[in-house]
Structure 1
Amino acid sequence: MTKSQERSLWKGLLAGAIAGLVATAAKTAAERFGPQHRERADSASAEMHWGVGIAAGAAYGAVAEFFPAATAKEGAAFGLTLMSVTQRGVLPALGMAPAAEDETLGEETAEAATHIVYGVVAEKVRGIVRPLL
């Protein structure tokens, strides 16, 4: 293993944070094509969306650094896992998103699709950025 290929928590975090930023932008753009979210549409919610996207990307980059299996399905598995944690767990518990059983099939499908976009974009960007660090 060469010096540039050595595992590094900090490089994984940085590559993942950059990937999370780009992936959040891609997810936000993709959301315009599906049913509108019924989440609270205030600035705190928008800021949280970006903060969670970047933080999740950083965590993903760190995990991928030491457990490459986390990148399964070109990042799609990560996107769907993130959806399960946020949209099916934390956000409904905080009253910031409807419970899964209250969503229409279209809303649920759009949510899954945009999280897959997030995960795939995050993995592609992480894969480009990480070797440059």
Structure 2
Amino acid sequence: MASNPRPLIGLLAGVTAGLVASAAMAAFQHQAGKLIPKGDQSDGDPATVKAADAVVEATTGEKVSEPYREASGQAVHYIVGGVLGGIYGVITEYRPEAASGFGGAYGVVTSALLDEGAVPALGLGNGPAETPAAIHAYGAASHLVFGWVLEGVRRIIAGAR
């Protein structure tokens, strides 16, 4: 356990770092997505848009209208990134070893929990067995980038623990 944990500093640094890491992840996905074979790419909405649809439909009974679909998916992406960053920031204040692999371990865990677990469990995407290997690699690499940038920015703001 770290001496003198600062949970509020960790939370604020983590949320900020999570937002920056989400932008880095989106930029990585934009470029890396070009390398995925056409047959492995999904032709439906991304999980983030489906999540936005689920929230809007639960509150209004309607899906997100077409002009706002992409923006709603981005909002979900950044909200999740900020929340995951905040959790990470607080955890690292108490357990510095959570920053293992310069945040890479946390990135891989988020990939497993979200892409391989929550997304299929919530019906937002295919299960692991129905997902092509290239998509698994793309997701894991994207979350690894998220973890590295998350730790780098968190460390700039809150310092190494």
Do Structure 1 and Structure 2 share a fold, with TM-score over 0.5?
Answer: yes
Q: CA shift at 1:61, angstroms? A: 0.3
CA distance in 2, matches of 1:61, 1:25: 17
For 1:28 and 1:103, how far apart are their aligned partners in 2? 20
Q: How many residues align?
A: 127
Q: TM-score, normalised by structure 1?
A: 0.87
Q: Name the residue aligned to 1:97.
A: 125
Name whichever of 122-131 and 44-53 sits farther off: 44-53
1:5-48 deviations in Å (ceiling 9; x for gaps): 84211000000001100000000000012235662443443322
Amino acid corresponding to residue 26 of structure 2 in structure 1: T
CA distance in 2, matches of 1:53, 1:90: 15
Query: Identity, % of aligned pairs?
Result: 33
The AA in structure 1 aligned to 2:76 is: M
Asked whether 1:61 is paired with 2:61, we answer: no
CA RMSD of aligned residues (A): 1.7
Inter-partner Cα distance in structure 1 for 2:126 and 2:25? 19
Instruction: Name 2:13's counterpart in structure 1.
Output: 15
Aligned with residue 110 of structure 2, among 58, 62, 82: 82
Question: Out of 25, 28, 31, which is 1:27 matched to?
Answer: 25
Runs of 4+ in structure 1 deviating by more than 2 angstroms, as ranges, are 34-46
Higher Cα Rg: structure 1 or 2? 2
Aligned-partner SS, 2:101: helix
Partner of 2:148: 120
* TM-score after normalising by structure 2: 0.73
User: Which residues of structure 2 form unaligned runs of 5+?
Assistant: 50-68
What displacement does 1:97 show?
2.0
Amino acid at match of 2:121: A
Give, in angstroms, the shift of residue 72 of structure 1: 0.2
Whole-angstrom CA distance in 1 between matches of 2:139 and 2:10: 27
- Provide the C-alpha distance between the structure 2 equivalents of 1:98 and 1:14, rounded to a whole number of angstroms: 34
